[in-house]
């Protein structure tokens, strides 16, 4: 970045994800029949889904395509003019941009898509079709009702470079994971007043790590697990449920029919003050990723979804050349501690394998 960059757009929040899926019917069954997202609109090529408290057209677009990938991570901006600002900002950064006055997907108006400096397809829009906010429609709620889109999580080789870019774009860091040398393994970035609208996880990228939806209470997440068991789909549960150290939220990670990762999330904290304290976690603290010290499955570190460029082709993936969080905590967190300085091991699966 240089001093001469124009101002960034005023981003309100993460708003929707466009996801390419290889079997639209299978994906629809997963997101609608199992997870209970609401269909705003659909045709033979795409399904537009929203959560129960959403009033914009969609939070997730499932689009049929040949290669499973994330086509756009879309952010809402504060004014129509902020789309212009976004376009100018990324052009000044030398990024490829594409502007469409009528939007890239149904329900969204004037929007700009960019391939950002990290290689991710970001979209910025203001105009959007309003639909009914179903918050009071309790007759539609399932035991695991998803009520909001909470955040994205992106995999990138160089988290430090990514932080500099996202902070310049107007995001604020709320938490991060570092080692004793100050190397950053992951960081969380917010515009709305939650712990994040997106996060960067160190690894081979650009890839999408996951999209996260919120429930109201922890039992809603447990109900999703119970239902997956009843449907004999428990093997889509990759990690959790558990309590995060980072964000203090209660979580579950599941994998959709293409392997795209979805987090179900609830109860992080308010971060809206300008001097909200940043929380830094030690990469060797075994409670940073799971407050109860339960092991992180290796695939959670290694797997992620491809992302597409503006032509719809997968962006080539570059390896991380810095230490990986998986490796420095290897043996399912075997190098990690529960109590700093204490070598006692406890009864965890990670410790036993």
The verdict on 102 binding a copy of itself (CB under 8 A) reads no
Which residue in 83, 111, 99, 73 sits closest to 10, CA to CA?
A: 83
The verdict on 81 binding a copy of itself (CB under 8 A) reads no
* Identified binder of a copy of itself from the candidate list 89, 125, 250, 251, rule CB under 8 A: 250
The verdict on 286 binding a copy of itself (CB under 8 A) reads yes
Angle at 340 between CA 334 and CA 346, to 5 degrees: 45
The verdict on 29 binding a copy of itself (CB under 8 A) reads no
Q: Which residue has the tokens 């909001």?
A: 148
The verdict on 141 binding a copy of itself (CB under 8 A) reads yes
User: Can you read off the two tokens belonging to residue 66?
Assistant: 């040949």
The verdict on 329 binding a copy of itself (CB under 8 A) reads no
Interface stretch with a copy of itself, choices 95-103, 133-141, 199-207, 321-329 (CB under 8 A): 133-141
The verdict on 78 binding a copy of itself (CB under 8 A) reads yes
**Residue 288: how many CA atoms within 13 Å on its side-chain side?**
23
Q: Which is nearer to a copy of itself, 143 or 312 (CB)?
A: 143
Residue 292-311 contact track with a copy of itself, rule CB under 8 A, x = bound = xxxx-xxx---x--------
* Identified binder of a copy of itself from the candidate list 66, 182, 274, 316, rule CB under 8 A: 274
Which residue in 75, 117, 49 sits closest to 262, CA to CA?
A: 49
The verdict on 137 binding a copy of itself (CB under 8 A) reads yes
For the segment 147-166, give every residue that binds a copy of itself (CB under 8 A). Answer: 147-148
CB of 115 to a copy of itself, least distance (A): 26
* Identified binder of a copy of itself from the candidate list 276, 310, 324, 328, rule CB under 8 A: 276
Residue 189-228 contact track with a copy of itself, rule CB under 8 A, x = bound = ---xx----------------------xxxx--xx-xxxx
For the segment 252-271, give every residue that binds a copy of itself (CB under 8 A). Answer: 255, 267, 269-270
Q: Which is nearer to a copy of itself, 165 or 281 (CB)?
A: 281
* Identified binder of a copy of itself from the candidate list 22, 106, 142, 280, rule CB under 8 A: 142
* Identified binder of a copy of itself from the candidate list 20, 245, 258, 262, rule CB under 8 A: 245
CB 277 within 8 A of CB 322: no
CB of 311 to a copy of itself, least distance (A): 31
Interface stretch with a copy of itself, choices 86-94, 177-185, 201-209, 248-256 (CB under 8 A): 248-256
Q: Which is nearer to a copy of itself, 111 or 315 (CB)?
A: 111
CB of 216 to a copy of itself, least distance (A): 5
The verdict on 3 binding a copy of itself (CB under 8 A) reads no
The verdict on 335 binding a copy of itself (CB under 8 A) reads no
Q: What is the 3-state secondary structure (H, E, C) of the chain?
A: CCCCCCCCCCEEEEEEEEEEECCHHHHHHHHHHHCCCEEEEECCCEEEEECCCCCECCCEEEEECCCCEEEEEEEEECCCHHHHHHHHHHHHCCCCEEEECCCCCCCECCEEEEECCCCCEEEEECCECECCCCCCCHHHCCCCCCCEEEEEEEEECCHHHHHHHHHHCCCEEEEEEECCCCCEEEEEEECCCCCCCEEEEECCECEEEEEEEECCCHHHHHHHHHHHHHCCCHHHEEEEEEECCCCCCEEEEEECCCCCEEEEEECCCCCCCCCCCCEEEECCECCCCCCCCCCCCHHHHHCCEEEECCCCCECCCECCCCCCHHHHCHHHHCCCECCCCCCCCCCCHHHHC
**Size of residue set near a copy of itself by CB under 8 A:** 83
């Amino acid at each position: 970045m240089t001093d001469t960059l124009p101002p960034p757009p005023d981003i309100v929040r993460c708003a929707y994800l466009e996801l390419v899926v290889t079997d639209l019917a299978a994906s629809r069954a997963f997101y609608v029949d199992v997870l209970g997202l609401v269909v705003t609109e659909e045709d033979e090529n795409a399904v537009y889904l929203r959560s129960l408290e959403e009033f914009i057209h969609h939070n997730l677009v499932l689009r049929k395509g040949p290669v499973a990938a994330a086509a756009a991570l879309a952010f809402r901006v504060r004014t129509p003019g902020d789309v212009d600002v976004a376009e100018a900002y990324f052009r000044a950064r030398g990024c490829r941009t594409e502007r469409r006055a009528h939007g890239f997907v149904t329900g969204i108006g004037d929007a700009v898509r960019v391939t950002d400096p990290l290689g991710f397809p970001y979209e910025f829009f203001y105009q959007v079709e309003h639909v009914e906010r179903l918050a009071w429609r309790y007759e539609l709620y399932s035991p695991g009702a998803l009520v909001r889109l909470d955040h994205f999580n992106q995999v990138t080789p160089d988290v430090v470079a990514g932080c500099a870019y996202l902070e310049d774009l107007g995001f604020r860091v709320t938490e991060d994971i570092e080692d004793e040398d100050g190397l950053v393994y992951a960081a969380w970035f917010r515009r709305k007043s939650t712990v994040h609208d997106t996060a960067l996880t160190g690894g081979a990228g650009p890839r999408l790590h996951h999209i996260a939806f919120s429930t109201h209470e922890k039992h809603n997440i447990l109900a999703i697990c119970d239902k997956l068991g009843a449907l004999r789909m428990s093997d889509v549960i990759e990690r959790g449920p558990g309590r995060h150290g980072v964000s203090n939220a209660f979580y579950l990670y599941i994998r959709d029919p293409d392997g795209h990762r979805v987090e179900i999330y609830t109860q992080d904290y308010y971060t809206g003050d300008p001097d909200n304290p940043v929380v830094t976690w030690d990469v060797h603290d075994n409670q940073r990723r799971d407050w109860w010290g339960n092991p992180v499955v290796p695939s959670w570190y290694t797997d992620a979804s491809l992302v597409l460029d503006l032509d719809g082709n997968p962006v080539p993936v570059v390896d991380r050349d810095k230490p990986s969080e998986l490796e420095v905590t290897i043996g399912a967190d075997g190098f990690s501690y529960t109590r700093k300085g204490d070598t006692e091991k406890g009864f965890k699966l990670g410790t036993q394998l």
